[in-house]
Amino acid sequence: MTAQHSVTTQASLPSTSAADERFNTSAGRKDFWRATVSCWLGTAMEYADFALYVLAAGIIFGDVFFPEQTPAMALLASFATWSVGFIARPIGALFFGWLGDRKGRKVVMVTTIILMGASTTLIGLIPSYASIGIWAPACLVLLRFSQGFGAGAELSGGTVMLGEYAPVRRRGLVSSVIALGSNSGTLLASLV
C-alpha cells in the first residue's frame, strides 16, 4: 500500500470527536438542544431589543431625553445613543473573547446575558430629562454602551458554543442558528 493511498483512506473515514460522542448520549442530546434553543432565543431577544430601541428612539426618546433640542437634533441625538451600542460591540467581543479563553465560554455567556438583561431593564427605568436633567441622556448612553458591550460577545460566543455542542458533520448548520435568531428577533420587533 502506498503512502498516498493510506492518507486517502484515512481521510475518508468518519472521525469521532468528543462532541459526536457526547451527542450520542441522551444527556448530550439534551444539552445540545438546550444550547441550541438558548442561543436562538438569546439572539432573538437581543435583536428584538435593538430593533425596538430604534422605534422608541424615533418616536419618544427625543421628547424624553433631549427636550431642549430642536426636533431634528433630538432625533439625531436619539439615534446617536443607539449607535453607541454598535460601537461597543467589537470592544465587548474582544474583551469577552479574551475572558472566555481564560474562564470558559459558559461563564461569559451567563455574564453577557445578565449584562444585556440588566442594561435593558435599567434603560426602561431611567427618569426623564425633566426629572434628572443631563443625567438622563448620560445614563442612556452608558447603558447603551453596556448593552452593546455584552451583545458583541453573545453572537460570537453563541456561535462557538453551538459549534462545540454540534456533531462534527453538522457544525456549520447548527452554528447558523445564531443568524436565524437575529432574523427572528428583527421579525418579532417588526410585529410589535
Per residue in 84-136, pLDDT tens? 988 999 999 899 989 988 998 778 888 888 898 898 889 889 999 999 999 99
Q: Is residue 66 helix, strand or coil?
A: coil
Task: State whether the Cα torsion 151-154-159-160 is positive or negative.
Answer: positive
Q: What angle do CA 16, 18, 22 make, to 5 degrees?
A: 105
| CATH, domain range 18-191 | 1.20.1250.20
What are the residue boundaries of the structural domains of the chain, listed by start? 18-191
Q: Which pLDDT score is estimated for 48?
A: 87
- Classify burial at 125, counting beta carbons within 10 Å of its beta carbon; exposed 0-12, middle 13-18, buried 19 or more: exposed
What distances in angstroms separate CA 170 from CA 32, 104, 163, 177, 181, one per listed residue? 12, 23, 8, 12, 18
Mean pLDDT over the full length of the chain: 84
**What integer pLDDT is reported at residue 145 of this predicted model?**
95
Amino acid sitting at position 113: I
Cell numbers for 91: 470592544
CA distance 58 to 79: 7
Position 8 confidence tier, pLDDT thresholds 50, 70, 90:
very low
What is the predicted pLDDT for the residue at 4? 52
CA 133 to chain centre: 31
* Nine cell digits for residue 40: 436562538
The model's pLDDT over 28-70, given as tens digits with 9 standing for 90+, comes to: 889 888 888 988 988 888 888 878 888 888 888 889 999 999 9
Q: State how far the Cα of 115 lies from the Cα of 91, in Å rounded to an integer.
A: 14
The pLDDT of residue 9: 45
User: Percentage of the chain with pLDDT > 70?
Assistant: 92
Q: What is the pLDDT of residue 135?
A: 96
Q: What's the pTM value of the predicted model, to 2 decimals? A: 0.75
